[in-house]
Amino acid sequence: MDTRQWMAIMLLIATALMLFVALLSYRKRQLDVARTMILVMLAAACYALGYAFEILSPSLRGVKLSLQLQYLGIPFVTSLWLLLIIQFTGGTARLRSRLTVILFVIPTLTFILQLTNDWHHLVYSEYILSADSSASSYTTVKGPWYKVHAIYNYFILACGMWAIIPMYWRMLPQVRKQAVVLILGAAAPAFFNVIYVFVQDIDFTPFGFAVSGIVYLWGIFRFNLLRLTPLALAKVFDTIRDGVVLLDHEDQIVSYNVAAVEVFPKLTAYPSYPVPGNGILSEIPGLMERIAAADGRDERFSLQSDQESQNKHYICSLSYIHDTGNHSIGKMLMFNDITELMENETRLRETARQMSQLNAFKDKLFTVVAHDIRDPIAHLVSLTELLGEEPADSDILHAEVFREIKGQVRSTFHLVDNLLDWYRSQNGEVSFRPLEWNLQQVVRQALSLAGTRAGMKRIRMTERVDETLTVVADKEMLDLILRNLLSNAIKFTGIGGAIEIEAALEGNLVKVYVRDNGAGIDEETSKLLRQEQLFFKEPGVENEGGEMRFGLVLTREFLRIHGGSLWFDSVPGKGTTFVFTLPGSESSEMLMKREAAVGIHEGHLS
């Protein structure tokens, strides 16, 4: 196997290597850098593959066809590499589309001129048979456009180096390694091409691209070449909402993000960095002192500044940056603007203060209601009761008016009483002392207190409660529950109606029924009741004064404290049944079982 065959095999291996790099880049094709890397490797692969065919071609026609394949990559590979550098560093992002067009004007012309070289000989002026050559069978004599193409390629390489080398010193350590990979990837083909220019015998440039492929593979697998770029880091850095300022070990500002300008407007006044941090950071009093006091430790502290007659509040995080040897090489200051949070906190404190004042006013108001309103109304109720005992037949009209006044006063008294009870329950002032009570006795007491009012409307009230039934309840709350339900039933029951109270033991609960054959509750009012609305008005029967049914809300609340519940069933025009539950006592349950057992035994004896 001669030298040409060995070179062809090596070029084919180099082609396979570059195609493999292109395949790896294709997996990351969503990135601009990866897509450009694919084109770079494909162009270099065309160069290497075409040169392998040129070496193996014995005829001039084969050499020319091989050159056509090579020029699918030769004119474009350096321009694509510069585009890769631009994308990697983020330079001229706004002009990238126009720059791309300009970059590929000369390469495109070179490709077209090579394709039509036999017409004008601007790229290769002559092909000379070279039987003694160890490479191609023909030596090419370069035309004038080839020199233009070569000068342009070296200019492109110089521009790429000029773009990436200065930026190297501003990059983070992990990104610097990626930059070195890109520099080496371009330097290897350039070095071999320089040799070819001076030797003019064997073109080693494709082998330089093979070295580039190895370097790029090393960068992809070792340094995540296609995953992290300075442009991506710059975007992350600039899109952080918190202000970030980077300082070196001498407390000089070396970089900052956009948000930091809002904290330190003077940052934009300097054309280049680094600059001393004292002049800028001193805008916030005490900041430099806190940095000096940190003494190598990461800290978090609050600061306040006065900018444009507006107080700004910040939470500042001070973090030290260390190299691989754990030696401090700089600091990072991060400023989180909490001005809005502080203002909201101030507003919340003011709102809390106002709420406290309103709550104190509410307590005073209910104290006034309890002492200055309730007592006079109670006195009016007593007076109307006394006056109601005297004959009023002499003046029927005045008697009707008096009864109206009497009803209104009593209704208002009950409302105020219920309101005060509810307020005490919500304020935690109602004591809950559950004891065992005979339910029949409690019901009869409630019926007796409501008897006068029911008698005025000739309403018949009956109770059907077993004398053995006992409940565990707070006596005052239970009296209020029965009083409110009976008051409601009397109010909405017409003259000559009937009210009935029943009770039954179901498991551990005593279920109490309060029935009336009054006006009932319409659908709209039923919805309001089930929604537990606090206040609503509904007129009574026989034009009785409308009363806010606040007592039902209080009743439900007291039953909830007992662990019971309240519901109702009503048919408009036929009556209403309120049902509530209370916990029963063990003695009540035992007595009921004993009576049931005795009843069965007596039935058996009979």
pLDDT at 598: 42
Instruction: With residue 583 as reference, give the H or E element that holds it.
Output: strand 575-583
Other residues' Cβ atoms within 10 Å of the Cβ of residue 6? 12
pLDDT at 461: 93
Please, which pLDDT band fits residue 90 given cuts at 50, 70 and 90? low
Please, which pLDDT band fits residue 232 given cuts at 50, 70 and 90? low
Higher per-residue pLDDT: 392 or 215:
215
What's the chain's average pLDDT? 75
- Tell me the average pLDDT across 394-402: 58
Look up residue 167 and give its two tokens: 């930026």
Higher per-residue pLDDT: 174 or 33:
33
Q: Does the pLDDT at position 578 exceed 90? A: yes
Taking each helix axis as running N to C, give the angle between helix 396-426 and helix 374-388, from 0 to 180 degrees, rounded to the nearest 10. 150
- Tell me the average pLDDT across 559-585: 89
- Tell me the average pLDDT across 427-441: 79
Please, which pLDDT band fits residue 516 given cuts at 50, 70 and 90? very high
pTM for the complete prediction? 0.44
Is residue 8 within 8 Å of 52, Cβ to Cβ? Answer: yes
- Tell me the average pLDDT across 140-165: 83
- Tell me the average pLDDT across 488-512: 91
Q: Does the pLDDT at position 589 exceed 70? A: no
| 235-241 long-range contacts, CB within 8 A, separation 24+ | none
- Tell me the average pLDDT across 442-463: 88
Calculate the dihedral angle through the C-alpha atoms of 74, 79, 85, 88, rounding to the nearest 10 degrees. Answer: -100
- What's the sign of the alpha-carbon dihedral 543, 544, 548, 550? negative
Is residue 106 within 8 Å of 183, Cβ to Cβ? Answer: no
- What's the sign of the alpha-carbon dihedral 309, 310, 311, 315? negative
- Tell me the average pLDDT across 326-331: 74
- Tell me the average pLDDT across 222-249: 68
Look up residue 396 and give its two tokens: 């029927």
Is residue 109 within 8 Å of 86, Cβ to Cβ? Answer: no
- Tell me the average pLDDT across 410-424: 64
Secondary structure (H, E, C), 168-222: HCCCCHHHHHHHHHHHHHHHHHHHHHHHHHHHCCCCCHHHHHHHHHHHHHHHHHH
Q: Does the pLDDT at position 393 exceed 60? A: no
Q: Does the pLDDT at position 20 exceed 60? A: yes
- Phi-psi domain of 125 (left: phi exceeds 0; alpha: psi -120 through 50; beta: other): alpha
pLDDT at 363: 67
> Cα–Cα distance between 27 and 78 in angstroms, integer?
23
Instruction: Using alpha carbons, list the distances in angstroms from residue 540 to 161, 519, 525, 533.
Output: 96, 9, 13, 18
Please, which pLDDT band fits residue 298 given cuts at 50, 70 and 90? confident
- Tell me the average pLDDT across 133-144: 76
pLDDT at 427: 61
- Tell me the average pLDDT across 455-469: 90
pLDDT digits 0-9 by tens, 518-551: 888 887 777 767 665 444 444 444 444 334 356 6
pLDDT at 502: 94
Q: Does the pLDDT at position 238 exceed 70? A: no
Instruction: Using alpha carbons, list the distances in angstroms from residue 99 to 19, 495, 595.
Output: 27, 100, 104
Q: Does the pLDDT at position 109 exceed 80? A: yes
